[in-house]
Each structure stands twice: as structure tokens, then as C-alpha cells.
């Protein structure tokens, strides 16, 4: 099989997963994904950088059919979508060694039962000579697990960043050929996977920027030759800049909560604030996650089910709380029939967000007269806070 050449002696040997629609039983993949694996041949040694998800092992093994030696398998990240085929590669190449961070070494033993003596821990800045090809290992923890590293191929100025700068996007092209499309997929990926590590990524980017890089080669999605484009996008996402936007995830049972959401939406728009509202009965979680990458304010809207918030609302609030977006303000609106602890429940579910809570608007039954006035007041408070904080774009 002819391998896809990136540079002289550097090949893509990954797998494109056009049909995958869910990751981690959580993340929707509307555009599929890919697991990028790379073969680097020096004059003396050959290294494989990351492998593929076990569901695509056969694809990688077929690509390696004509490859008679692999001396090293670099595991940038131990999550199984990249490490899951290492055991098969080790079985084929009996003297190959796995290189990973010290923590990655532990994970590979725990997750894949790889014999510890076949794994060597590498440290930050350590280099490996393959003969005319030098790999440098760069410690970049928490993108996305604590053990992650990146690998820099000096002579060819390629940095292999595994999850960092990736996108869940199945494509026939090895490189980005539609920047807007890839940027959208990369933002979705950042929102779903990387957002909790925003400040860490900021530091890693400073580190990466010290290297001369012609190609950023993540292990999901197309490779970036226009490195400025993907770095600039990430720079914006990890920055503290906020957009003049209110995100409203909501559930509605008989239309009362939706009436409040629609009224608040119109009031905010009337005050020059952008709104992204998501009916959780039909929303893709990835879209919701993307919307809180930049938004300044979150308004959670829920009816009361039995004694608490709607389960779909709690699930969305839990997800947003876990993703730790840079939101600055939050509020809650919703309805109840007789009693309940919806506000307390939602408030405790988003307790990790560093937000100023603006007084909730909770209505008994269907909203009427004075209730709309309270929603006008809430819209005015949000608009004022945005303005006072210079959040105007
Ligand atoms: Fe693509 Fe964290 O694995």
C-alpha cells in the first residue's frame, strides 16, 4: 500500500472514521472523525507516532504491512483512540519500544496491559535520533489528560500535538482545504474537549510558539499548514475576551418556560445583546458547548418537574459546569406549578462557574403582566453589565 507522504520519510498512516457519530458516549460527531498516526523514517531507526482507535486497528495494520521495522512507538496521549492499537503494533514489531511521559507509561500499563518493560518514559526536552530525523518530546500535560506530550520533528518542522489543535472531522484531504469548515469543527472540538484546560493551553501555546513550525499535525482531523490560522483561532478561544452574547439552554413542557425564553430573547435583542437559545429537546450538546466558548452570560431556563429542574436542563447545566467556560454572568428563569427547588438545584449544578448570579425570575404557572416586567428588568441588568464591562462585540 502506498503511504500518504507528508515530507521525505514522514507519512500519514491513520484511519478516517466517516461513520462515527458519538465519542465517549457523550460527544456528538456530526462530521465523523479521524485518528492520525504518523510514520517517521530516519536513516537508522523508524518511529510510529500515536496509533488509531481499536475499531480501526485493521486499517493501521494494513498500512504497516510493507513496513518491515518500527523501533519506537511514541504515545503522545494514552486515551484509547490513539493508544488502542499499540498492543497490536508491539505484537508485530517484537523489539519495538513505546515512548511516553512517566504518567503515560502508567496509563498504558493500566489501560492496555502493555508490559511495563516495553515502555520507556521520556522527559520534557528529551530528544531521540532516528538518523537525519530528530524527535523532541515536549511536555504538554492536560491536553487532554494529565500525561499528554507533543512531539516535534526538528528537521521537518512538524509538531505532532495529538488532541491539541485537533478537530473531529472526517475528510479525504490530509491537509486543511476549507479553513472555515475546519475552524468550525476545531471550535466544536475545543469546546467539547479542551475548554476546561483553557489557561493550560494558553501556556502550552507560548511554549509551542518558540518552535519553528511549518505543519501542526494533530491526531484528529486535517493537518494545518497555515499554522497561523489555527493558532489565531485558539488564541481567541483561550483569551479572556467575551462576546456580547447570552446563551439560553431551556426545556419546556407546556410552553410557559418557552414563552419566558422568547420574551427575554426579544428584550435582549432589543437592547443590542445577541442571543443563542437552545431547546434541549432537540439540541446537539456540541453546539451548546461551542456557544459558551465566548459568551458572556448564561441564562438557564427550566420548568419544574415534580420538585426540581427538568432533567434535560440539569444535564446541560452539568455539562456547562464541567466545561468551565469563561462566562461572567448567569441567571435562571422558569416556572413552577405548586412548589419546588428548581433554582437551588440549577444553582448548585453550575457552582463551579465563576459567574455573578443575577436574580432569577421564577413564575407560578403561565407568565403574565408583572412577570414580563421582571424579564424586561433581567434583560436590562444583563445589557448593563455587558456595557459596564465593555463587552460590546
Ligand atoms: Fe483523542 Fe483524548 O483522545
- The pLDDT of residue 341 is 94
Q: Which residue has the cell 521495522?
A: 69
Give me ligand 1 centre to Cα 81, in Å. Answer: 6
Shared-domain flag, residues 39 and 98: yes
Is 183 part of any domain? yes
Q: Per residue in 74-83, pLDDT tens?
A: 999 999 999 9
This prediction's pTM: 0.95
- Residue with CA nearest ligand 1 atom 1: 163
Indicate the angle between helix axes 311-323 and 342-349, nearest 10 degrees.
Answer: 30
- The pLDDT of residue 2 is 86
Q: Is 79 in the pocket of ligand 1 (CB under 6 A)?
A: yes
Q: Per residue in 294-330, pLDDT tens?
A: 999 999 999 999 989 999 999 999 999 999 999 999 9
State how far Cα 217 lies from the chain centre.
16
Shared-domain flag, residues 230 and 377: no
Q: Is 20 in the pocket of ligand 1 (CB under 6 A)?
A: no
Shared-domain flag, residues 332 and 298: yes
Q: Which residue has the cell 436542563?
A: 313
- The pLDDT of residue 139 is 97
Is 132 part of any domain? yes
Q: Is 310 in the pocket of ligand 1 (CB under 6 A)?
A: no
Shared-domain flag, residues 291 and 174: no
How many angstroms separate the Cα of 99 from the Cα of each of 9, 26, 360?
20, 30, 52
Give me ligand 1 centre to Cα 143, in Å. Answer: 8
Is 332 part of any domain? yes
Shared-domain flag, residues 34 and 153: yes
Shared-domain flag, residues 193 and 299: no
Number of domains into which the chain is organized: 2
Give me ligand 1 centre to Cα 300, in Å. Answer: 30
Determine the atom of ligand 1 nearest the C-alpha atom of 166: 1
Write the CATH number for 340: 3.40.50.360
Write the CATH number for 100: 3.60.15.10
Shared-domain flag, residues 64 and 150: yes
Which domain, by its residues, includes 70? 4-238
- The pLDDT of residue 339 is 84
Give me ligand 1 centre to Cα 82, in Å. Answer: 7
Residue 309, strand partner residues:
304
Are β-strands 329-336 and 361-364 bridged in parallel, bridged antiparallel, or unpaired?
parallel
Pick the closest to residue 165 from 230, 111, 232 (CA basis).
230
User: Last residue of a domain, which of 238, 273, 294?
Assistant: 238
- Residue with CA nearest ligand 1 atom 3: 79
User: Last residue of a domain, which of 193, 218, 238?
Assistant: 238
Q: Is 147 in the pocket of ligand 1 (CB under 6 A)?
A: no
Is 393 part of any domain? no
Contact 77, 15 (CB under 8 A): no
Is 325 part of any domain? yes
Is 391 part of any domain? no
Shared-domain flag, residues 233 and 319: no
Give me ligand 1 centre to Cα 381, in Å. Answer: 40
Shared-domain flag, residues 264 and 136: no
- The answer for residues whose C-beta is within 8 angstroms of residue 369's C-beta and 6 or more apart is none
Shared-domain flag, residues 297 and 263: yes
- The pLDDT of residue 1 is 79
User: Last residue of a domain, which of 238, 259, 290?
Assistant: 238
Give me ligand 1 centre to Cα 163, in Å. Answer: 5
Q: Which residue has the cell 515536549?
A: 138
- DSSP code for 168: -
Is 88 part of any domain? yes
Q: Round to whole Å and give the CA distance between 284 and 387.
A: 30
pLDDT under 50 in the chain at which residues?
A: none
Is 115 part of any domain? yes
Shared-domain flag, residues 58 and 100: yes
Shared-domain flag, residues 256 and 115: no
- The pLDDT of residue 340 is 87
Contact 324, 292 (CB under 8 A): no
Amino acid at each position: 500500500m502506498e503511504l500518504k507522504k507528508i515530507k521525505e520519510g514522514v507519512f500519514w498512516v491513520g484511519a478516517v472514521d466517516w461513520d462515527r457519530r458519538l465519542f465517549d458516549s457523550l460527544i456528538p460527531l456530526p462530521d465523523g472523525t479521524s485518528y492520525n498516526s504518523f510514520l517517521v523514517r530516519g536513516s537508522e531507526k523508524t518511529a510510529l507516532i500515536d496509533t488509531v482507535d481499536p475499531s480501526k486497528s485493521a486499517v493501521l495494520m494494513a498500512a504497516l504491512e510493507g513496513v518491515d521495522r518500527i523501533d519506537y512507538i511514541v504515545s503522545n496521549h494514552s486515551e484509547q483512540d490513539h493508544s488502542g492499537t499499540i498492543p497490536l503494533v508491539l505484537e508485530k514489531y517484537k523489539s519495538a519500544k513505546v515512548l511516553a511521559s512517566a504518567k503515560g507509561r502508567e496509563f498504558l500499563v493500566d489501560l492496555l496491559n502493555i508490559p511495563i518493560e516495553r515502555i520507556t518514559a521520556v522527559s520534557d526536552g528529551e530528544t531521540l535520533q532516528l538518523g537525519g530525523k530528530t524527535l523532541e518530546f515536549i511536555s504538554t500535560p492536560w491536553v487532554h489528560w494529565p500525561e499528554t506530550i507533543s512531539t516535534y520533528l526538528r528537521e521537518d518542522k512538524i509538531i505532532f500535538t495529538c488532541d491539541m489543535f485537533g478537530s473531529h472531522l472526517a475528510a479525504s484531504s490530509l491537509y486543511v482545504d476549507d479553513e472555515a469548515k475546519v475552524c468550525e469543527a476545531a471550535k466544536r472540538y475545543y469546546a467539547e474537549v479542551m475548554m476546561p484546560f483553557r489557561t493550560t493551553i494558553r501556556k502550552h501555546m507560548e511554549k509551542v510558539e518558540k518552535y519553528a513550525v511549518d505543519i501542526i499535525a494533530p491526531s484528529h482531523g486535517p493537518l494545518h499548514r497555515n499554522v497561523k490560522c489555527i493558532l489565531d483561532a485558539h488564541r481567541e478561544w483561550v483569551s479572556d475576551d467575551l462576546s456580547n452574547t447570552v446563551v439560553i439552554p431551556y426545556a419546556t413542557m407546556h410552553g410557559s418556560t418557552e414563552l419566558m425564553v422568547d420574551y427575554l430573547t426579544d428584550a435582549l435583542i432589543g437592547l443590542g445583546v445577541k442571543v443563542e437559545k437552545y431547546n434541549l429537546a432537540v439540541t446537539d450538546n456540541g453546539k451548546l458547548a461551542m456557544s459558551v466558548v465566548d459568551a458572556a452570560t448564561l441564562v438557564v431556563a427550566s420548568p419544574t418537574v415534580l420538585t426540581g429542574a427538568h432533567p434535560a436542563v440539569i444535564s446541560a447545566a452539568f455539562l456547562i459546569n464541567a466545561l468551565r467556560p469563561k462566562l461572567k454572568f448567569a441567571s435562571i428563569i422558569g416556572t413552577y406549578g405548586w412548589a419546588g427547588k428548581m433554582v437551588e438545584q440549577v444553582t448548585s449544578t453550575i457552582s463551579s462557574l465563576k459567574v455573578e448570579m443575577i436574580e432569577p425570575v421564577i413564575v407560578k404557572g403561565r407568565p403574565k403582566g408583572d412577570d414580563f416586567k421582571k424579564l424586561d428588568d433581567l434583560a436590562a441588568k444583563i445589557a448593563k453589565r455587558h456595557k459596564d464591562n465593555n463587552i460590546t462585540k
